[in-house]
Chains A and B, each alone.
Chain A
Amino acid sequence: MPEYLVRLAQVHESFRKAELFALGELAGVTLEIVEYHENSPFCIVRLPSDAAAAKVISRSILSLGIHELWGRGPSYEALHESVKINTSHLWAKYKDVSFKFTVDCFQGTRTTAEQRDIIESFSYLAFEGPIRMKDPEVSFQVFEHYDEKAPHPKYFYLGRFIAESGRHAKSTYDLKKRHYISTTSMDAELALLTANIALAAPGKIFFDPFMGTGGFPLAAAHFGAYVCGSDIDGRSIRGTGGSSRKGQVGKRDVAGNFKQYGLEGHYLGAFVSDLTNTPLRLPAPSNNGIRHGYLDGIICDPPYGVREGLKVLGAREELGDIERSNHQARHKDPTYIPPKRPYSFMALLDDILAFAAITLVEGGRLSMWMPTANDEDVELIIPTNPFLELVSVCVQPFNRWSRRLLTYRRLPDSEAPADAVTRVRKEYEKGVRADELNAFRRKFFEGFKEADKLRAGDYAPEETPKKIG
């Protein structure tokens, strides 16, 4: 298989491989990573063809583009030598076509004169076609990799351009331009990335049980999925609560966001509900071994703090007979507000996994965000479920806390333990009550207070390290 150079964005590093593998799977091609470094925007992969390369990268959020790799090396001499060895049989093919040659310096700069010299040094390729800066038939790019603040580059590549990425969607869906958002709306880039990692694609159904202002369903719909969502807070869906956005007037709601992007045809709708008392069908495992999962993907950012108010339905205390009949008598009254009680975050995570195990189709994915304190003696907790296999863990670090995107794949029943079906169902139905009061959990949760405070600044520039090359 030929080698290609993926020009990555130097941002959200720990998500980049997970995205590449997901996109390979979506495109139905074998993708092998030959060389990858967390601190480099240059990644070398093996892919079966140019068409496969284009298919994989065209919807990538964390890359800029993909190039056929013509050569590489730690100096221009080495680069030229590698180009000559690898590609001399290809030169004739591009001899007469219009072309363009550019230089991309990562963490460095070149004057126009220097760039011209660099390009001239490739004159042995003997391309005789017209140079065309706009829409050339073939486009070559020299890449220089500098260490931060270094005067000279440390590594060089030459690539033939194959395809641009889908990164422009990041600005299309930018929260600053979205009609309806709230303080907990997920950053557009991360929402799109989540949809990619969860394999959102045309023809699929995606669901977000904590949809808020609909950031994840929108992202999944952008990639062609049909989407629906729910939230315990009806105001966030209907938008009647207004928005915390300054200067925002008039009615803005989730449906309006879908209209803004021309995606209303993909919006199956939303409903108000508590995940632990979901109205969604929870299909029983059938005797003949055919499962009835119906969701291709579940993507969400569960509530975990004071801001989002992690609550579930139900009274705080067990109801006595009198209270019970009081609720019964009043519940049809339009002013009746169903009471809610606090709930444990760990229990909710287990509930989400159990829900996913029941509703996902085989191979369907759950991608959910989860915060953690950056405290050395807090061991990472990764919730598990016998039907779900962990696919990837991606980390977005902040100063005192991080949040992680956990992605799971629904296993075929045949690969899960024999009693798993009944166990998972039972657990979901009774609602797993995790014990929050032990010391370990308490410590774990202390970090959240910090996280919760910081959360408001999720998309403030100083919180997200910005060093996109």
Chain B
Amino acid sequence: MKLLTLNFLTCAIKTCKSSPSSFPLHPRDAELEIVEADLNLKFLENILPRLMWDELRVVVDELGLPTLPPTIPTRADLVAPSSPTSSSSSSDPAPSQTARDLHRILIETCVREGKLVCGNCGHEYAVKEGVANFLLPAHLV
């Protein structure tokens, strides 16, 4: 599961959802894996406004990955300033270092094994072979 997906996941327990501490889920004993992928600037631009940035930073820190800047980059930050040497041949703008870093974190970094823990109720969701299990026991439905 790519780290981007984690940015959309909260605790599955309904009574937890309204509590701010149910998001983000906190990775524990996480085993990470890098899956190389092509960088898609358009996609990064599209998802930028949908990201919960502060929570992403928390997860990135907890995973021991390089800290993200305190404020969310802008769309303009994703595009490398056009250098005069890289001539007119391609019309597509080149990704900046910021875009490459984000791509590395959101798209190429995957959680393979471990647990995701709710900060509100402490419930643990297991991740196995990259697939997280959010099925709830009967007393929590």
Using a CB–CB cutoff of 8 Å, the interface residues on chain A facing chain B are: 202-205, 226, 228, 230, 232, 234, 237-238, 255, 264-274, 277-282, 292-294, 296, 313-315, 319, 323-325, 327-328, 330-332, 336, 338-339, 361, 429
Contacts and interface: CB of A to CB of B under 8 A. Distances in A.
Nearest to A428: B14
Interface string B36-70: 11101011011100101000000000000000000
B2 A269 contact: yes
A272 B131 contact: yes
B141 A429 contact: no
A269 B5 contact: yes
Counting from the closest, the 5 A-B pairs by CB-CB distance are A265-B37, A269-B1, A331-B137, A203-B42, A273-B134
B23 A281 contact: yes
Contact of A338 (B4, B5, B138): B138
B141 A272 contact: no
B32 to A, nearest CB: 13
Given A204-B46, A277-B12, A280-B10, A328 B139 contact: yes
A294 B43 CA distance: 12
Contacts of B129: 238
Interface in B109-141: 110, 124-125, 128-141
Given A205-B47, A228-B5, A234 B139 contact: no
A274 B136 CA distance: 9
Contacts of B9: 271, 279-281
The bracket for how many chain B residues form the interface is 35 or more
A280 B130 CA distance: 17
Nearest to B17: A282
A234 B47 CA distance: 28
A336 B137 contact: yes
Nearest to A334: B126
A327 B138 contact: yes
B138 A279 contact: no
Of A226, A327, A429, most buried by chain B (CB within 10 Å of CB) is A226
Nearest to A429: B14
B79 to A, nearest CB: 15
A315 B38 contact: no
15 contacts: A230-B134, A238-B128, A265-B35, A265-B107, A269-B5, A270-B131, A272-B131, A278-B134, A281-B10, A293-B50, A294-B50, A314-B138, A319-B139, A327-B137, A338-B137
Given A265-B35, A269-B2, A338-B137, A280 B42 contact: no
Contacts of A255: 130
B1 A314 contact: no
Nearest to B132: A271
Contacts of B17: 282, 429
B133 A268 contact: no
Contacts of A280: 8-10
A324 B138 CA distance: 8
A226 B137 CA distance: 31
A230 B5 CA distance: 12
Given A202-B43, A280-B8, A292-B50, A273 B135 contact: yes
Given A269-B1, A294-B47, 19 more contacts: A202-B43, A230-B134, A265-B35, A265-B37, A268-B1, A269-B2, A269-B131, A272-B134, A274-B134, A279-B134, A280-B9, A281-B8, A281-B10, A282-B10, A313-B138, A314-B141, A319-B138, A327-B137, A330-B137
A151 B135 CA distance: 62
Contacts of B23: 281
Contacts of B45: 203
Contacts of B47: 205, 294
Interface string B1-23: 11011001111111001000001
A264 B35 contact: yes
A134 to B, nearest CB: 30
A266 B2 CA distance: 10
B103 to A, nearest CB: 10
Nearest to A332: B124
Of B12, B110, B128, most buried by chain A (CB within 10 Å of CB) is B12
Contacts of B38: 265
Contacts of A265: 35-38, 107
B1 A270 contact: yes
A325 B131 CA distance: 28
A274 B13 CA distance: 11
Contacts of B50: 205, 292-294, 361
Contact of A238 (B12, B110, B131, B134): B131
A71 B121 CA distance: 70
Nearest to B111: A269
Contacts of A270: 1, 131
Contacts of B13: 277
B46 A268 contact: no
Nearest to B108: A265
Contacts of B35: 264-265
